[in-house]
Structure 1
Amino acid sequence: MTDHTPEENKQHAERMAKVQAARKKMMAKKTKTKGLIIVHTGNGKGKSSSGFGMILRCIGHGFPCAVVQFIKGSMYSADRELLVDRFSDICQVHVMGEGFTWDTQDRERDIAAARRAWEKAKDLIRDPQNRMVLLDELNIALRYDYLDAEEIAEFLLSEKPEMTHVVITGRNAPDRLIEIADLVSEMKEIKHPFRKQGIAAQAGVEF
Structure 2
Amino acid sequence: MPDNLLTLIDTAINYLNANMPTNNFWGALFDSTIFSTFVGAAISLVITRCTTHWAEKQTEKKQKIEEYEKKLKDFYNPLYFLIVKNTKLYEIFKVDKKYKNKRTLLILLDQKDVLSDADKSILEEIIANNHEILQLINQNAGYIEDDMMDDFVELARHYVLLEKAFQNKLPNLPEYREHTYPRDINTKIKNKVKALRSEIMDTSPKEKKETNESK
TM interval, shorter chain, is under 0.3
Q: Which protein has the larger Cα radius of gyration, Structure 1 or Structure 2?
A: 2
TM-score (norm 1): 0.23
Q: Answer 1 or 2: which has greater strand percent.
A: 1
TM-score (norm 2): 0.23
